Amino acid sequence: MSLFQSIDNSLHFDQVSLAQLAKTYGTPLYVYSQTALTQAFQAYQQAFAKNQPLICYAVKANGNLSVLKHFASLGSGFDIVSGGELARVLAAGGDAGKVIFSGVGKSAAEIQDALQAGVLCFNVESLPELDRINSVAAKMGVQAPISLRINPDVDAQTHPYISTGLKENKFGIAFVDALQAYRHAASLENLQIVGIDCHIGSQLIDLSPLTEALERLLVLVDQLEAEGIVLQHIDIGGGVGIVYSDETQPDLQAYADSVARLLEGRPQHLVMEPGRSLVGNAGVLLTQVEFVKQGETKNFVIVDAAMNDLMRPALYQAYHEVVAVAPRNDVETVLADVVGPICETGDFLAQNRQLAVVEGDLLAIQSAGAYASSMASNYNSRGKAAEILVCEGQETLVRRRENVSDLWRDEILA
Interface residues with ligand LLP (CB under 6 A)? Answer: 58, 61, 79, 102, 162, 199, 202-203, 237-239, 273-277, 312, 316, 371
Other Cβ atoms less than 10 A from the Cβ of 243: the count is 15
**Smallest distance, Å, CB 283 to ligand LLP?**
13
| Choice between 162 and 229, CB closer to ligand LLP | 162
343 included as an active-site residue: yes
Q: From the annotation, which residues make up the binding site?
A: 239, 273-276, 312, 316, 344, 371
CB of 49 to ligand LLP, least distance (A): 19
**Residue 28 or 103: which CB sits closer to ligand LLP?**
103
Q: Using CB atoms, what's the residue nearest to ligand LLP? A: 238
The CB-of-199 to ligand LLP minimum distance in angstroms stands at: 4
To ligand LLP, the closest distance from the beta carbon of 385 in angstroms equals: 17
The catalytic residue among 121, 198, 343, 391 is: 343
Provide, rounded to whole angstroms, the least separation between the CB of residue 274 and ligand LLP.
4
Q: Which is nearer to ligand LLP, 102 or 126 (CB)?
A: 102
Cβ-in-10-Å burial (0-12, 13-18, 19+) of 131 comes to middle
Nearer of residues 117 and 311 to ligand LLP, judged by Cβ:
311
Q: Tell me the binding residues for substrate.
A: 276, 312, 316, 344, 371
> Shortest gap between Cβ of 371 and ligand LLP (angstroms)?
3
Residues annotated within a binding site for pyridoxal 5'-phosphate = 239, 273-276, 371
Active site residues: 343
